[in-house]
Chain A
Amino acid sequence: MGRYVFKLPDIGEGTAEAELVAWHVAIGDSVEEDQPLFDVMTDKATVEVTSPVTGTIIELNGEPGQMASIGSSIVVLEVEGAGNERANGKAAHAEAAPKADAKPAPPPKAEPKPAPKPEPKAEPRGAASSARPPAFATRATPDAKPLASPAVRQRARDMGVELQFVAGSGPAGRIEHADLDAHVSQGRSARGSSSGVRYAQRDGVEEIKVIGLRRKIAEKMQEAKRRIPHFAYVEEVDVTELEALRQQLNMQKRADQPKLTLLPFIMRALCEVLPDYPQINATFDDEAGVVHRHAAVHIGIATQTANGLIVPVVKHAEARDLWDSAAEVARVAQATREGKAARDELSGATITITSLGPLGGVVTTPVINHPEVAIIGPNKIVERPVVRDGHIAVRKIMNLSSSFDHRVVDGYDAAEFIQRVKAMLEHPAILFMGGA
């Protein structure tokens, strides 16, 4: 058995409350679905409200002549099944608004069943509800504009305050400058729970000047997105074997060697595949109309610093082994975070990797680091059930989200390139075979 809390429905007149006119049932009555429960009266009509469920009445809140607000708990029934009340009945009880000041429910008709739970009568939130100030200013005519002089309206707009939420103290409820001030300061200080308002409204707009590194980033991103017609390509990579290899290597590494992340492996794979895709390891001088295809692979590593995003560069990744790559990534990233990276270490990339590690998400659409033409974004690794030879196996799966400059990289080539990278990462032995 469960408790079903029936809240006074919106009678459809836009009213906030209705007068309870008569009960058609009493506590202990068994009611059928659609059986009339009570009558309420609004400005316009008396409405008979019927039961939405079959059950037994265990609570009636309010007496004829009282106002009941729309949405307040008015009848509680005991029903088959779980009812609609949340755990332990606390929530529904807390919402039974008018009950606190209601007189005892009318005496039960026939064999009275004791009310099942003589819960505390003084329900703090319900009781407070009648006394607390309205959450926003109410007006005589609902559609009326807030009353305020042009200067007050202008100032409110400049402050980012919606005047319909400001209570006016002037004649006819006119909002004065002082009301606006009061509203703003009230919004800033957290309102005490005693007022009954749980969610304080926040106003005001803070202006942050976009300067320094942030401006540089903004300009660079805008430039990239404005100039480069990006296309994104996402492929799924099974990194189970690669992860096993990585763990193995980390276990037997020498003390002076850095811990390997996935990054050096991806760098290695890029270095192996890129010679076959010179249009991807390139920079595009679009003003001169020239693509520079680079023999070297200088990999930009997108790095989050306290000030924002910076992309230090691992030079000649093609000439570095895993350990060297890992050490160099660690070194330039550290230098960048400490603000010690040389200018030379922050420029000259031919391709960029942007990895958020465990925050990598499912798919990203990275922004190309202009004037490069490609950016590779590994997403997070998750264990997924995949079908292998007709069986379901649990594999470590990682998505590879990449973006290319469609002006100089065709979709077909990009897809082929990523497939090659995928093949390398899925079968990491190939990574070290050279010339594969």
Chain B
Amino acid sequence: MSDITCQVLVVGGGPGGYVAAIRAGQLGLDVVLVEGDRLGGTCLIRGCIPSKALIHVAGEFAAMRAAADGARFGLQLKAQPDIDFKKTIAWKEGVVDKLNGGVAALLKRAKVRVISGWATFTDAKSCIAKTKDGEEKIRAEHVILATGSLPVELPFMPFGGDVISSTEALSLPAIPKRLAVVGAGYIGLELGIAFRKLGSEVTIVEAENRILPLYDSELVAPVKKWLDRHGVTLHLGAKAKSARAGALQIEGADGKAAQVPADKILVTVGRRPNTEGWGLETMGLDMAGRFVKVDDRCRTAMRGVYAVGDLVGEPMLEHKAATQGEMVAEIIAGRDRRFDPVSIPAVCFTEPEIITAGLSPDEAKAKGEEVIVAAFPLAANGRALSMDAGEGFVRIVARKSDHLILGVQAVGAHASELSGEFSLALEMRAVLEDLAGTIHVHPTMSEAFHEAALRALGHAIHI
């Protein structure tokens, strides 16, 4: 066993951890990062990136099938297209490998020592990392915990066999003929829609009475419409009961038992912080429910120990973790930083895509704000129509008294790329007039944001 001492120990090589390590390295700190799996974390290895790769292939395939089913924009295929799913998965792995290698190179450039092994803390400032070459004892002045999260398992239907989590769903050997999805949150819907496009018969079971329960009904409506139009079966207000061979037992909204035929059952009922198996209990930290408790500087109850990302609370999103990781590195380097964003934007890569940034109309009203809400339909946006993406809208929520923009939401194909401007407007504390006075390129979908602002001011041009 060898001994390592360092200024900063980062545990977890996901977006929270590796960004913290790179930034700390840039700031001249002596950094060790321990990762038990591959660098990149859930996002890169088994989350955002591979799922987007799969969703992209599914979209291409669906377009080809549409061309085979009947001429669309004059495009026609004489026969149904084929898919070699093994090659699809291999291509996806290629994308993941490229990014994984990129992270390793960035860490190296920042002079971060990466230890591939499983870290177990023995006290708040020291851990033992089990590597393939033996054990390393690591002691650090500052510790950044970035252990991320894991898919939640249903106790009566544990993962294994045909019951799979999102991780397995991204590396299936073949496209399941019949796929049952338990949980209609964003992960279940993204994957359910992708597999529907790939040809699976998809059934979605959700305990609440609506899909995407965290989003307002106006935003969700176009997604619901797509599901209906593409023959996805929905069981709302229904509970998954047990997995049988080739079927999922459910209790319907009417209380009656029913069977959903399924070759694979994808359980996406949420994620839980990864708080077990690495010695958290030896560190003397305070908890906030399931999460590690931190303040607005991501400081835990133990001096010199920080925690970031999924481990410290919702929303469990890459960009939140990365922002916190970067901030903590700067705090350790002696700068005064706080995690106080105006918004943590979120995107559902469903069909069509949903974006939320800042307050929804209901949230704003609940905060006692008197608001103007204005939406601009993509059906009136030239670029959207030219891409056959006229379904959806951009909606803006502004304070009535001073026109401060409080929130922006959108739903529409390709709309996720608009999110950057939404966030910038919120973070810069823009008012409607700022947006109205900004020239937006024609023809782009971003004009819909401009027009929504004009409409909020009462003088939209194109509607």
Are A and B bound to each other?
yes
* Shortest Cβ distance from B368 into A: residue: A141
A172 interface neighbour in B336, B399, B427, Cβ under 8 Å: B399
Cβ contact within 8 Å between B336 and A141: no
Chain B nearest CB, measured from A147 CB (Å): 4
Q: Which residues of B contact A141 (CB under 8 A)?
A: 367-369
Q: Is the CB of A148 within 8 A of B402?
A: no
In the complex, are the beta carbons of B402 and A173 less than 8 A apart? yes
With beta carbons under 8 angstroms apart, the residue of B335, B369, B399, B401 that contacts A158 is: B335
Contact present for B429 and A147 (CB under 8 Å) = yes
Shortest C-beta distance, B364 to chain A (Å), equals 11
B305 within 8 A of A: no
What residues of chain B lie closer than 8 Å to A172, measured between beta carbons? 399, 402-404, 429, 431
Question: Are B336 and A157 closer than 8 Å at their CB atoms?
Answer: yes
Closest-CB distance, A35 to chain B (whole angstroms): 38
Q: How far is the CA of A160 from the CA of B403 in the complex (A)?
A: 29
Chain B 400-415, CB-CB to A under 8 Å as 1, else 0, gives: 0111100000000000
Task: Find chain B residues with CB under 8 A from A154 CB.
Answer: 337
Given known contacts A140-B401, A141-B369, A147-B404, is B433 in contact with A171 (CB within 8 Å)?
A: yes
Residues 117-175 of A at the B interface (beta carbon under 8 Å): 140-141, 145, 147-150, 153-154, 157-158, 160, 170-174
Rounded to whole Å, the gap between the CB of A205 and the closest CB of chain B is 9
Known: A157-B338, A158-B336, A171-B433. A150 touches B427 (CB 8 A): yes
Contacts of B369 in A (CB 8 A): 141
Interchain CA distance A158-B334 in the complex, whole Å: 11
Is A153 touching B336 in the complex (CB atoms < 8 A)? no
CA A171 – CA B428 in complex, angstroms? Answer: 11
Could you say which residues of chain A place their CB within 8 Å of the CB of B336? 157-158, 160
Q: Which residue of B lies closest to A173 (CB)?
A: B402
Q: Which residues of A contact B429 (CB under 8 A)?
A: 147-149, 170, 172, 174
Given A147-B429, A158-B336, also A171-B402 (CB < 8 A):
yes
- Interface residues of chain B: helix, strand, loop or mixed (majority): loop
CB–CB A149/B428 < 8 A: yes
| Segment 209-260 of B: residues with Cβ below 8 Å from A | none
* Chain A residues in 8 Å Cβ range of B338: 157
Do A157 and B337 contact each other (CB < 8 Å), given the known contacts A141-B369, A172-B404? yes
Q: Does residue B37 face the partner (Cβ distance < 8 Å to A)?
A: no
Chain A min CB distance to B191 (Å): 34
Contact with A along B19-50 (1 / 0, CB 8 A): 00000000000000000000000000000000
A407 to B434, CA, bound (A): 69
Question: Which residues of B in the span 371-419 have a Cβ within 8 Å of any Cβ on A?
Answer: 399, 401-404
Among B337, B368, B399, B404: residue with most chain A CB under 10 A: B404
**B340 close to chain A: CB less than 8 A:** yes
Assess whether B427 is in contact with A171, with CB atoms less than 8 Å apart: no
For A154, the closest partner residue in chain B by CB is: B337
Whether B403 pairs with A171 at a CB distance below 8 angstroms is yes
Residues of B within 8 A of A171 (CB): 402-404, 431, 433-434
Question: From residue B363, how far is it (CB to closest CB) to chain A in Å?
Answer: 14
Shortest Cβ gap from B365 to chain A (Å): 13
Cβ of B402: which chain A residues have Cβ within 8 Å of it?
Answer: 140, 171-173
- Cα distance A197–B335 when bound, in Å? 32
> Hey, what's the 0/1 contact readout for A44-58 against B, CB within 8 Å counting as 1?
000000000000000
Chain A residues within 8 Å of B401, by CB: 140
The CA-CA distance from A153 to B429 in the complex, in Å, is 11
CA gap between A148 and B430 in the complex, in Å: 9
Give the docked Cα–Cα distance between A140 and B337 (Å): 26
B333 smallest CB distance to A (angstroms): 13
Bound form: Cα–Cα A13–B402 in Å: 25
Across-interface contacts of B335 in A (CB, < 8 A): 158
When distances are taken between beta carbons in the complex, the residues of chain B under 8 Å from A160 are: 336
**C-alpha spacing A171/B367, complex, angstroms:** 21
- Name the residue in B338, B428, B433, B434 with the highest tally of chain A Cβ atoms < 10 Å from its Cβ: B428
How many angstroms from the CA of A4 to the CA of B335 in the assembled complex? 52
A residues 168-209 near B (Cβ < 8 Å) are 170-174
Q: Enumerate chain B residues within 8 angstroms of A174, measured Cβ to Cβ.
A: 404, 429, 431
In the complex, the answer to whether B428 meets A150 with C-beta atoms within 8 Å is yes
A171–B368 Cα gap in the complex (Å)? 21
Which B residues are CB-close (under 8 A) to A153?
340
- Select the residue from A140, A141, A154, A171 with max chain B CB neighbours within 10 A: A171
Nearest A residue (CB) for B427: A150
Cα distance, A141 to B403, chains bound together (Å) = 14
Q: Which residues of the other chain, A, contact B368 by a CB distance below 8 angstroms?
A: 141
A188-241 residues at the B interface, CB under 8 angstroms: none
A145–B340 touching, CB < 8 Å: yes
Q: How far is the CA of A153 from the CA of B340 in the complex (A)?
A: 10
Kindly list chain B residues whose C-beta atoms are within 8 Å of the C-beta of A150: 427-428
Tell me which residues from 319 to 366 in chain B have a Cβ below 8 Å from any Cβ of chain A: 335-338, 340, 342
Bound CA–CA A348/B449 (angstroms): 77
Q: Which residues of B contact A173 (CB under 8 A)?
A: 402
A153 to B337, CA, bound (A): 10
Q: How far is the CA of A145 from the CA of B429 in the complex (A)?
A: 11
How far apart are the CA atoms of A140 and B367 in the complex, in Å?
A: 13
Which residue of chain B has its CB nearest to the CB of A153?
B340
Nearest Cβ distance between residue B13 and chain A, in whole angstroms?
Answer: 27
Distance between B432 CB and nearest chain A CB, rounded to angstroms? 9
B327 to nearest A CB, angstroms? 11
Q: Quick one: CB contact mask for B49-62 with A, threshold 8 Å, 1 for yes? A: 00000000000000
A173, B401: Cα distance in complex, Å: 11
How far is B342's CA from A153's CA once the two chains are assembled, in angstroms? 11
Chain B residue with Cβ nearest A158: B336
The CA-CA distance from A160 to B336 in the complex, in Å, is: 8
CA distance A174 to B369 in the complex (A): 17
Alpha-carbon distance between A157 and B337 when the two chains are bound, in angstroms? 7
CB<8 Å pairs between A and B, sample of 7 = A140-B399, A147-B404, A157-B336, A158-B335, A171-B402, A171-B431, A172-B431
Q: Which 7 A-B pairs have the closest CB atoms?
A: A172-B402, A172-B404, A147-B429, A171-B431, A149-B428, A157-B336, A174-B429
Known: A145-B342, A154-B337, A172-B431. 6 other contacts (CB 8 A): A141-B369, A147-B404, A149-B427, A171-B402, A172-B403, A172-B404
Measured CB to CB, the residues of B under 8 A from A are 335-338, 340, 342, 367-369, 399, 401-404, 427-429, 431, 433-434
